[in-house]
Structure formats: structure tokens, C-alpha cells
């Protein structure tokens, strides 16, 4: 049974454990990576992932099927991450190592330059408003489509486009300062 088929969705709504186990198996890694890119803390990412699946399971009967299951659970995860950091009054920001983790730079001067760029990027990202940072990370790092981001954030695609444009402009301005 396909994850977004009508039968699968109906089984999900009925909270069938085998179906939910399949969802967890299918989406855990992808969701964990998305959450980790937002919070940059493995323990927090694991907690948020677990809470997101639990909330998705508990809310399954209310799932309307207007979006894919992944998008539905990703929206829950994003809200969980937002809530966690509001409570802790911490800021989410991105580490360039996530983007460039496989690249090894043996030259010391290049490594210093890379560290300097990394600090500037982290500083700029940490100053971006949360709503801008979220769409920037989802689009430019995670590679989600505008439609997926729209479904996750519950704003129109046009709103996502505008927010992404403003985020990129503000981010660029912060880097140039």
C-alpha cells in the first residue's frame, strides 16, 4: 500500500499501528534531518521528532488528506521546534558544516577564510527573524518546493515566495555589513 493512497490514509486515520510504524520508518530520517538543520542539537532534534510523531498519531483521525503525510508531519515538527525554542528563548541558526560537511579543505589559509565566512553566516542567520530563517532553511538547505513550504508553514505559495525573497535580501544585507 502506497503511503499517500486512500486506503493508507484511511488506515492512518484509524490509527492502525502497522501503518503508523511504516510512516515512522519512511519519514524518520528525512524529518530528523529537517529538524536538526533548524535546531542544531541532536538531542533536541530527537525529542522534537518523537513528539511530532506522537502528535501526528494522536491527531490522525482529524487528518483531512489535503496534503501529503510528510508535509502534515513536517508542519507538526516545525511547530514543535518553534514551541521548544519559544519556551527556552533560544535562537535557531544554521551551521555551514551542514551544507558543506563532505568538503575537506587542507589549506590553512582557506580553512581560516572558511571559518570567517561560517561565523558571518551564522551571525546573519541568528539575527534573521524566525519566519525568514525557516523558509530560507527549508528552501535553500533542505530543497523543499514552494508548495511544500506553503503547506508546512500554512501560508500561501505567494506568501512563501515573498518571505523567501525578503529573507534572502535581508540575509545578503546582513552578510554585506
Alpha helices, DSSP H only, in 60-145?
Answer: 69-88, 96-99, 108-127, 130-136
CB atoms within 10 A of CB 45: 21
Q: Report the chain's terminal Cα–Cα distance, integer Å.
A: 53
Residue 11 has pLDDT above 50, yes or no: yes
Please give the average per-residue pLDDT across 19-25, as a whole number: 94
Which triple of cell numbers denotes residue 36?
536538526
88 — pLDDT class (breaks 50, 70, 90)? low
**Cβ 70 vs Cβ 53: under 8 Å:** no
Please give the average per-residue pLDDT across 148-172, as a whole number: 94
Residue 104 has pLDDT above 70, yes or no: no
Q: Set out the domains of the chain in order of their start, with CATH numbers.
A: 1-90 (1.10.1740.10), 107-177 (1.10.10.10)
d(CA 80, CA 47) in angstroms, rounded, equals: 9
The chain-wide mean pLDDT, for the chain, equals: 83
**Cβ 43 vs Cβ 84: under 8 Å:** no
Exposed/middle/buried for residue 8 (C-beta within 10 Å: 0-12, 13-18, 19+)? middle
Per-position b or e across 110-146, b if 16+ CB within 10 A of its CB: eeeebeeebeebeebbeebeeebbbbbbbbeebebeb
Residue 105 has pLDDT above 70, yes or no: no
Residue 163 has pLDDT above 90, yes or no: yes
d(CA 136, CA 48) in angstroms, rounded, equals: 20
**Cβ 163 vs Cβ 132: under 8 Å:** yes
d(CA 110, CA 55) in angstroms, rounded, equals: 45
CA contacts within 13 A on the Cβ side of 64: 3
Amino acid at each position: 500500500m502506497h503511503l499517500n493512497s486512500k486506503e493508507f490514509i484511511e488506515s492512518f486515520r484509524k490509527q492502525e499501528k502497522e501503518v503508523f510504524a511504516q510512516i515512522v520508518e519512511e519519514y524518520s530520517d528525512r524529518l530528523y534531518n529537517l529538524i536538526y538543520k533548524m535546531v542544531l542539537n541532536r538531542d533536541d532534534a530527537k525529542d522534537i521528532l518523537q513528539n511530532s510523531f506522537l502528535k501526528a498519531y494522536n491527531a490522525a483521525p482529524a487528518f483531512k488528506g489535503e496534503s501529503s503525510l510528510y508535509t502534515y508531519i513536517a508542519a507538526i515538527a516545525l511547530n514543535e521546534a518553534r514551541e521548544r525554542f519559544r519556551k527556552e528563548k533560544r535562537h535557531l541558526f544554521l551551521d555551514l558544516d551542514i551544507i558543506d560537511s563532505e568538503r575537506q579543505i587542507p589549506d590553512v589559509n582557506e580553512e581560516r577564510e572558511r571559518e570567517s565566512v561560517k561565523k558571518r553566516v551564522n551571525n546573519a542567520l541568528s539575527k534573521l527573524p524566525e519566519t525568514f530563517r525557516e523558509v530560507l532553511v527549508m528552501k535553500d538547505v533542505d530543497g523543499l518546493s514552494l508548495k511544500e513550504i506553503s503547506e508546512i508553514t500554512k501560508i500561501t505559495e505567494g506568501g512563501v515566495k515573498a518571505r523567501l525573497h525578503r529573507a534572502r535580501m535581508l540575509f545578503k544585507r546582513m552578510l554585506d555589513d
